[in-house]
Amino acid sequence: MRAARLIKMVLLLQNRPSMTAAELAAELEVSERTVTRDALALSEAGVPVYADRGRAGGYRLVGGYRTRLTGLARGEAEALFLSGLPQALRDMGLEDAASAARLKVSAALLPSLADAPRSAAQRFHLDAPGWYQEPRTPELLPAVAEAVWDDRRISARYRRGDGEVERELEPYGLVLKAGVWYVCARAGSSYRTYRVDRFTDVVPGEEHFVRDADFDLAGFWAERSAEFARSLLRAEVVLRLTEAGARRLPYVTDRAAAEEALAAAREEDGRVRVTLRVENEEVAFGQLLGLGPEAEVLAPAALRERFAQAS
């Protein structure tokens, strides 16, 4: 218990030029007398803690001292920055590394590990907003995750349609979207996204690949997600909206499609006329019904008739 407190005290002083006994006592949840005793113990152990006397005094470390108490491995350091996501760590097979990292969290990172937060962000992105469903853990996820963290090429068999294809991939990063795992990988000269639960076999190669430093996992995923969402909008409906209906439209249907439609709207009889891209007429009926009298469907005719019958 005391050892952990002493390490925390060193870390606090590493991160600030100076701290008073009162400030340290508050951070460590001990008395100022205990702070004085701990500072003396550190000094006797060879840690250069110096006490400045007087009203403006306090404790500081001399000569830019930094602890080397960690022994934190790279895998542990990277896992540490994902430690708020325990289920994701378990799924990727990183739970043991995260546990070891948390035991060492009281110590400072070595300079050689200073890029661990960036390294973790390059390899894992959490897309949290739901499409609510029960999470599934693909059987081959740990093997894919190990290759991602190790920058190792893989040979993978992948279900597509009624058959399987084999691909040589450079796995750049994993994305967890509403319980479904995806791997973003370079195949040849292009980057693609694969659902991990569709892999039927993953064989790590002997070779490592050189990661493109300009690849932005979060940006790549956002771009591909937007493309996918647009690809689902294969039909169009024409609406006449009141001012209130126009304000509410982005909240009942695809936001990007609604904003695009409103940007191209034109005034008509005191309302606005918009052409909205939708997935299909059935989906549009369920979405737009919530607008009630604030929306009038002009086309297609079949959808207009359904709204007339529902009103």
- SS3 (DSSP) at 291: helix
* Position 202 pLDDT exceeds 90: yes
197 phi, psi to nearest 5 deg: -70, -5
- Amino acid (1-letter code) at residue 65: Y
What pLDDT was estimated at residue 109? Answer: 45
pLDDT tens digits for range 150-195: 899 999 999 988 889 999 999 999 887 767 789 999 998 899 999 9
Q: What value, to the nearest 5°, has the Cα angle with vertex 124 and ends 122 and 127?
A: 120
The contacts of residue 236 (CB under 8 Å, 6+ apart) are 275, 276, 277, 278
Q: What value, to the nearest 5°, has the Cα angle with vertex 75 and ends 74 and 76?
A: 90
Q: What is the pLDDT averaged over residues 73-79? A: 53
- pTM for the whole structure: 0.49
Confidence grade of residue 286 (pLDDT, cut at 50, 70, 90): confident
The residue with tokens 């005290």 is 9
Q: Element (H or E) spanning 13, and its range?
A: helix 2-15
Q: Which long-range contacts (C-beta less than 8 Å, at least 24 apart) are formed by 79-86?
A: 79/120, 80/105, 80/116, 81/116, 81/117, 81/120, 81/121, 82/120, 82/124, 85/126
What pLDDT was estimated at residue 272? Answer: 92
Confidence grade of residue 199 (pLDDT, cut at 50, 70, 90): very high
* 188/66: higher pLDDT: 188
The contacts of residue 80 (CB under 8 Å, 6+ apart) are 72, 98, 101, 102, 105, 116
Contact of 83 with 77, CB cutoff 8 Å: no
pLDDT tens digits for range 240-260: 999 999 999 998 888 888 899
What pLDDT was estimated at residue 105? Answer: 42
